[in-house]
Structure 1
């Protein structure tokens, strides 16, 4: 599945163009119900300063050796001046707290409630370096490939955390508000149709897997835009990042039960069992 970028198009907005200043934002005191209402209507919502800047600094400190050893992407989608660092459940205790944040987890479970449950789709620190051009516009639902789910069925809820202050200049994610209401194949957008998401360190962008978006261009000379992607997906989908391998069992055995189930150590109507229909969680601790 690929984006179609043409000049002739019809924006799914009413009356006026959205600007960065008028993006949908909620305070960190918002409820699950308030967040989901905005998410359903607009396809995204920004929660300002949901965690402290110190929390994000700890994640960088925990991940720095792994960031340094990450290579740049080798093609236009992954970004030739972008480093993508995974395996955060193995390497960052603080990132585990973000996965289990009560508000974010509650929103994921409510937004994807048509499914039996949810799980962690992947973990990725995305470091966009100076000179990186804008990413191709896309939707995250494309990870399901050609799976024939109905267009209105929700399978993906992305969570992009601001690890550093994020601005338009340093590569803030660009979105097309309201684009989740049309099938992706029917849409044609250019970068001119997008709006940059600017947010301070510790803030969070939550958006539907059907929302058209892409990483922005980093036009600065000395700023690295760091963001953390921790999406939830429906429990029957194959995870983008295989948590059973990305987080070694010796580490997994030290983690809280609730986190392990979100990471995929759970069974769905008999699928995902550890043999003879046994629950995968106690099986993890078997010698």
Structure 2
């Protein structure tokens, strides 16, 4: 409705892989979902108390969609080496997810890979699928290398919601000031406002470990 593309050239192989961007601006239900207590608990368990919501999108694999480029989401926003978990995806499954309808494929153990040079050349053959019933929530370390599977069914869609959270010193993928409507910005609750990095002060948490020269 705003002229935004529904697929990403260079990442998505064809237009049967449909993306819906800026979910937070489309309906209040998404603003509730992204701060769901179970999701926030998983985020903080992996990357710590201080984080930002970097992106929130839908990915719908229609029949005929193919596998996208293999990638790790932390590698998109942080250069190597990837030594610590600074990003996480929380995935909500709107449909049953299984190999034939385009389940996400991941390389087991690849969250321990620090550099691209450490990846196996034949990693696509070693990938396995996330399988989950509709209504499930999947937590995925941002360092995990993965891709979407091909949807080889005739009439089954696979719709997933991807909430992408990162450590608070990483610039979000979405500029929320520019993306959210004035109405949405005016109606954000204080907690979500902070999680989107919209406060006037930012990236000050390390001040707690600054040493007083008088003590040294």
The TM-score with structure 1 as length reference comes to 0.64
Name the residue aligned to 1:120: 53
Query: Structure 1 residue 78 and structure 2 residue 9: aligned?
Result: no
Query: Structure 1 residue 176 and structure 2 residue 111: aligned?
Result: no
Name the residue aligned to 1:92: 27
Name the residue aligned to 2:159: 226
Where do 5+ consecutive residues of structure 2 fail to align? 206-216
Question: How big is the shift at 1:236?
Answer: 1.4
Q: Is the 8 A contact 1:157 1:207 kept in 2?
A: yes
**Whole-angstrom distance in 2 between the partners of 1:154 and 1:90:** 28
Q: Is the 8 A contact 1:70 1:84 kept in 2?
A: no
**Whole-angstrom distance in 2 between the partners of 1:95 and 1:123:** 9
The one of 163, 171, 174 equivalent to 1:238 is: 171
Q: Mark the CA change 1:143 to 1:76 in structure 2 (over 3 Å): closer, same or farther.
A: closer
The one of 114, 117, 141 equivalent to 1:208 is: 141
Offset from partner CA, 1:166-196 (integer Å, 9 cap, x none): 1111101011121111224111243221111
Where do 5+ consecutive residues of structure 1 fail to align? 1-64, 272-287
Give the match's secondary structure for 1:161.
strand
Give the match's secondary structure for 2:55.
coil
Question: How big is the shift at 1:269?
Answer: 4.3
**Whole-angstrom distance in 2 between the partners of 1:74 and 1:241:** 15
The TM-score with structure 2 as length reference comes to 0.84
Offset from partner CA, 1:180-229 (integer Å, 9 cap, x none): 11224111243221111111111111111111111110001111211001
Offset from partner CA, 1:57-82 (integer Å, 9 cap, x none): xxxxxxxx78xx86443635123121
Give the match's secondary structure for 1:250.
helix
Write 1 or 2 for the structure with the bigger share of strand: 2
**Whole-angstrom distance in 1 between the partners of 2:142 and 2:203:** 25
Superposed, which structure 2 residues align to 1:144-159 within 5 Å?
144-146=77-79, 151-159=82-90
Q: Is the 8 A contact 1:139 1:184 kept in 2?
A: no
The one of 84, 88, 103 equivalent to 2:38 is: 103
Q: Is the 8 A contact 1:70 1:83 kept in 2?
A: no
Runs of 4+ in 1 over 6 A off after TM superposition: none
**Whole-angstrom distance in 2 between the partners of 1:163 and 1:254:** 26
